[in-house]
Amino acid sequence: MNDPVVDATSSTPDGPGPSPSQDAAGHPGALLRVENVSKVYGSGHTAVTALDDATMSVDQGEFVALLGPSGSGKTTLISIIGGLLSASSGSVHIGNVDVTTLGGKERTKFRAERVGFVFQSANLVPFLTARENLLYVATLVKTPKKAASQRADQLLEELGLAGRAKNLPEQLSGGERQRVAIGRALMNDPDLVLVDEPTAALDTALGRQVVQLLRREIKDRGKTGIMVTHDLRMVEYTDRVFEILDGHLTHVESPSALGH
């Protein structure tokens, strides 16, 4: 008589691999592991479930896209990953640290040292120049001044902003502001770079340039990156795509599987 368990095992072409649950949550060495994370905003009849049992993992060196329509939970998810927002349940590990269990002060320190954010609106400090916006974040982790200066100049150079270093944000174009924001996110040498809609305010050509630059910086520096977008054209610059719909993290696709 056939044993269905043996049959199932022997039909796996590549032999025993990780179990499906391990695969979804990632192997223990993944840089980022999000496990069963839910987020409910508000309570009672106004409660909104923005994230429902999200599980994902990203390896060091990967640059992935988080794709989904407006209101699907993208910003909520990366805000929880980066420790800006508390989850209602579930856990987020970056390396061996569970971000969801850190207290306020520890969380702030962890964020400054290990996570770089690029927000949709760039969010630069308006009264600081491009260069000063980079230097400011270095003070949060007490980088020595000389090292911070060198790093800021190097990043501005790489991002094509050397000639704009002394400009205030209002004296920069939208694309330049986004590039300053990328520089600022990389300034403290984070493990994880979280990017929310970097191309929303840019035309397609400029958007592509910014995302290409972001990819290059992430790859050259061995960082791990997650980019939120609802623009399918931008996913070709990423290694993998996570899709989110109504708070459900649905598909995990390679960019080519989406026809790009």
Ligand X SMILES: Nc1ncnc2c1ncn2[C@@H]1O[C@H](COP(=O)(O)OP(=O)(O)OP(=O)(O)O)[C@@H](O)[C@H]1O
Which residues of the shown chain bind ligand X in the complex (CB under 6 A)?
Answer: 41-42, 48, 50, 68, 70-76, 230
Nearer to ligand X, 76 or 188 (CB): 76
Interface residue with Mg ion among 57, 72, 75, 224 (CB under 5 A) is 75
Strand-strand pairing, 224-229 and 63-67: parallel
Distance in Å, CB of 100 to ligand X, minimum:
17
Amino acid present at 163: G
Distance in Å, CB of 258 to ligand X, minimum:
18
Q: Give the end-to-end CA distance of the chain in Å, rounded to a whole number.
A: 47
Distance in Å, CB of 171 to Mg ion, minimum:
27
Alpha-carbon distance of 28 to 91, in angstroms, equals 14
Q: E strand or H helix at 40, and its extent?
A: strand 32-41
Burial class (CB in 10 A: 0-12, 13-18, 19+), 229: buried
Nearer to Mg ion, 175 or 198 (CB): 198
Burial class (CB in 10 A: 0-12, 13-18, 19+), 44: exposed
Q: Which option in ligand X, Mg ion, none does residue 129 bind, with CB closer than 5 to 8 A by kind?
A: none
Alpha-carbon distance of 221 to 15, in angstroms, equals 35
Distance in Å, CB of 60 to Mg ion, minimum:
25
Residue nearest Mg ion (C-beta atom): 75
Q: How far is CA 60 from the centre of its chain?
A: 12
Nearer to ligand X, 141 or 232 (CB): 232
The residue written with tokens 């094509």 in the block is 160
Q: Which option in ligand X, Mg ion, none does residue 70 bind, with CB closer than 5 to 8 A by kind?
A: ligand X
Nearer to ligand X, 72 or 199 (CB): 72
Distance in Å, CB of 79 to Mg ion, minimum:
9
Burial class (CB in 10 A: 0-12, 13-18, 19+), 82: buried
Distance in Å, CB of 237 to ligand X, minimum:
19
Nearer to Mg ion, 121 or 256 (CB): 121
Q: Which two tokens stand for residue 180?
A: 């300053």
Q: How far is CA 109 from the centre of its chain?
A: 18
Distance in Å, CB of 75 to Mg ion, minimum:
3
List % helix, strand, coil for the chain (3-state, nearest 5).
40, 25, 35
Q: Which option in Mg ion, ligand X, none does residue 42 bind, with CB closer than 5 to 8 A by kind?
A: ligand X
Nearer to ligand X, 55 or 149 (CB): 55
Nearer to ligand X, 74 or 184 (CB): 74
Stretch that binds Mg ion, among 72-80, 103-111, 204-212, 230-238 (CB under 5 A): 72-80
Q: Please answer whether residues 195 and 217 qualify as being in contact, where contact means their C-beta atoms are separated by less than 8 angstroms.
A: no
Residue 194, strand partner residues:
117, 226
Q: Which option in Mg ion, ligand X, none does residue 41 bind, with CB closer than 5 to 8 A by kind?
A: ligand X
Would you tell me which residues interact with Mg ion (CB under 5 A)? 75
